[in-house]
């Protein structure tokens, strides 16, 4: 849901707007209809006056019809249509009242039947049904037209907004592809709106990033290649020295330089890993065996308790290097030069006896960081392990319990 928050917000705003407009028009329709009915119902006073004069003066029926005809009204005398209107018609409004002398009770009803307005006047002794040929029932067509127009305008406006959001959705997907390692994805667009400008700016930034990455990779690979040649020559030249002490000293220096270049190459390989095409499914026990062979430790220095059925999707070379570095780390800092590799809660753990780390794990996974400068290390071991695990969507964790340091691939 969070990924589509903007879309959901727009749809919510559309729903609220349409519901609000519909509610307003509905209330306006009811009020407008009531006002119209109240307005035309005032005509009953004219009918009442004519009918009262007819009753008081005992005028003829012809005179009554003539007086009503002046106001475009006529009496319905046929009993069958009269009863049908009263029984089947829609009662719009009704009021009961007394005449001015307070003796004759009257009740006036306004009825709609087949798009015609009727007034039904009732007294205690008689009643008449008057058909109004001039008044028309309330029509909601104009209001419906206004509502439909407003509804369509709001809907079309939101549809246009959603159309404008489509490039944003495509841009998000392209950014996700770029973040996952697809450096060839194109953000370029011909659109000139705000989203188009953002896309083109991202395209410019992508080109610069690709250029920097290519330059960095080329620089690192060239410098490592150029360093290996003098190191090799220096190693050979050191063997020509007469003094054994000097030969050992220079050999140690060049060996450390060669190890440093090798670790740099490994770091460059990890940081430039842009996809998982080199990942395959391996048995974890096979990767651990490969790491033990690389570490060249004495037999029995490593105890492994990992189920043979446990598998992992990994880059074999890099993951083997990470485990090898954990073994090297245990051999340097454990009190008994022994390490246990076990599975706990479906997580690979490296346990070795020793003192608790003086600082937090974050301190040790920084490059060129080491607790004891006298150790034969460049401080890149845990940094390289952490980088490899991140490339495998894992993290390095640490805990200390009962004199045992436990590093965890979580």
pLDDT digits (tens, 9 = 90+) for 343-354: 888 889 999 888
**Are 313 and 380 contained in the same domain?**
yes
- Name the average pLDDT for the chain: 78
**Are 222 and 313 contained in the same domain?**
no
Question: Taking 70 as the threshold, does the pLDDT of residue 290 lie above it?
Answer: yes
**Are 225 and 334 contained in the same domain?**
no
Sheet holding 404-409, edge to edge: 302-305, 339-344, 347-353, 404-409, 396-401
Identify whether 396 is part of a domain.
yes
Burial class (CB in 10 A: 0-12, 13-18, 19+), 119: buried
**Are 285 and 404 contained in the same domain?**
yes
Q: Of 122, 38, 114, 36, whose CA–CA distance to 81 is shortest?
A: 114
Q: How many domains does the chain have?
A: 3
Identify whether 71 is part of a domain.
yes
Identify whether 27 is part of a domain.
no
- Cβ-defined contacts of 37-43 (< 8 Å, 24+): 37/92, 37/93, 37/110, 37/138, 38/93, 40/110, 40/117, 40/135, 41/92, 41/93, 41/95, 41/108, 41/110, 43/71, 43/119, 43/132, 43/135
Q: Which among 262, 295, 329 is the end of a domain?
A: 262
**Are 253 and 353 contained in the same domain?**
no
Q: Which among 103, 134, 165 is the end of a domain?
A: 134
CA distance 64 to 60: 7
> Residue 268: its pLDDT value, please?
64
> Residue 80: its pLDDT value, please?
84
Identify whether 6 is part of a domain.
no
Residues facing 311 on adjacent strands: 283
* Mean pLDDT score, 70-91: 83
DSSP structural state of residue 357: P
**Are 289 and 405 contained in the same domain?**
yes
* Mean pLDDT score, 9-34: 85
Q: Which among 116, 134, 152 is the end of a domain?
A: 134
Range of the domain at 78: 44-134
CA distance 354 to 332: 10
Q: Are strands 105-113 and 116-122 parallel, antiparallel or unpaired?
A: antiparallel
Q: Confirm whether pTM is higher than 0.85.
A: no
Identify whether 175 is part of a domain.
no
Q: What is the pLDDT of residues 89-107, one digit of tens each?
A: 888 888 776 554 545 567 7
**Are 393 and 291 contained in the same domain?**
yes
> Residue 226: its pLDDT value, please?
66
Residue by residue, DSSP assigns 28-92 as: HHHHHHHHHHHHHHTTHHHHHHHHHHHHHHT--HHHHHHHHHHTTEEE---HHHHHHHHHHSEEE
**Are 284 and 246 contained in the same domain?**
no
**Are 293 and 398 contained in the same domain?**
yes
3-class secondary-structure state, position 93:
strand
* Mean pLDDT score, 229-258: 72
Identify whether 145 is part of a domain.
no
User: Which of 1-10, 48-57, 388-397 is predicted most confidently?
Assistant: 388-397
Question: Taking 80 as the threshold, does the pLDDT of residue 85 lie above it?
Answer: yes
Q: What is the pLDDT of residues 137-183, one digit of tens each?
A: 777 788 888 888 888 888 888 888 877 777 777 887 888 777 776 77
3-class secondary-structure state, position 151:
helix
Element (DSSP H or E) covering residue 271: helix 244-271
**Are 242 and 296 contained in the same domain?**
no
Question: Taking 80 as the threshold, does the pLDDT of residue 302 lie above it?
Answer: yes
**Are 213 and 100 contained in the same domain?**
no
Q: What is the pLDDT of residues 362-401, one digit of tens each?
A: 887 776 565 554 444 445 678 778 888 888 888 889 888 8
**Are 311 and 356 contained in the same domain?**
yes
Identify whether 183 is part of a domain.
no
> Residue 183: its pLDDT value, please?
74
Q: What is the pLDDT of residues 189-213, one digit of tens each?
A: 877 777 788 888 888 888 888 787 7
DSSP structural state of residue 393: T
Identify whether 110 is part of a domain.
yes
């Amino acid at each position: 849901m969070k990924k589509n928050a903007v879309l959901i917000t727009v749809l919510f705003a559309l729903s609220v707007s349409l519901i609000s407009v519909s509610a307003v028009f509905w209330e306006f329709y009811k009020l407008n209809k009531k006002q119209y009915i109240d307005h035309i119902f005032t005509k009953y006073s004219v009918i009442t006056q004519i009918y009262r004069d007819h009753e008081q003066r005992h005028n003829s029926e012809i005179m009554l019809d003539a007086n009503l005809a002046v106001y475009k009204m006529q009496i319905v005398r046929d009993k069958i249509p009269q009863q049908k209107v009263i029984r089947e018609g829609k009662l719009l409004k009704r009021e009961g009242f007394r005449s001015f002398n307070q003796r004759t009770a009257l009740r006036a009803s306004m009825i709609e039947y087949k798009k015609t307005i009727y007034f039904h006047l009732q007294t205690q002794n008689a009643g008449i049904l008057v058909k109004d040929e001039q008044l028309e029932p309330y029509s909601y067509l104009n209001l419906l037209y206004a509502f439909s127009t407003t509804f369509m305008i709001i809907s079309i406006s939101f549809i246009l907004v959603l159309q404008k959001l489509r490039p944003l959705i495509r841009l998000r997907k392209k950014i996700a592809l770029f973040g996952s390692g697809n450096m060839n994805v194109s953000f370029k667009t011909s659109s000139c709106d705000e989203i188009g400008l953002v896309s083109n700016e991202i395209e410019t930034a992508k080109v610069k990033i690709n250029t920097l990455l290519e330059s960095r990779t080329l620089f690192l690979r060239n410098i490592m290649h150029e360093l290996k040649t003098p190191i090799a020559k220096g190693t050979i030249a050191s063997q020509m020295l007469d003094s054994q002490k000097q030969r050992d000293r220079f050999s140690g220096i060049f060996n450390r330089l060669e190890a440093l270049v090798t670790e740099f190459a490994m770091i460059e390989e990890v940081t430039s890993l842009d996809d998982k095409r080199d990942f395959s499914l391996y048995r974890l026990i096979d990767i651990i065996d490969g790491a033990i062979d690389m570490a060249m430790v004495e037999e029995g220095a490593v105890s492994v308790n990992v189920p043979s059925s446990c598998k992992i999707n990994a880059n074999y070379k890099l993951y083997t290097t990470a485990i090898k570095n954990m073994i090297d780390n245990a051999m340097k800092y454990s009190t008994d030069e022994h390490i246990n590799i076990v599975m706990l809660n479906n997580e690979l753990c490296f346990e070795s006896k020793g003192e608790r780390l003086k600082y937090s794990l974050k301190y040790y996974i920084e490059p060129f960081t080491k607790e004891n400068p006298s150790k034969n290390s460049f401080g890149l071991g845990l940094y390289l392990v952490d980088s490899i695990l991140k490339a495998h969507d894992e993290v390095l964790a640490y805990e200390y319990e009962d004199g045992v340091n436990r590093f965890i691939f979580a």
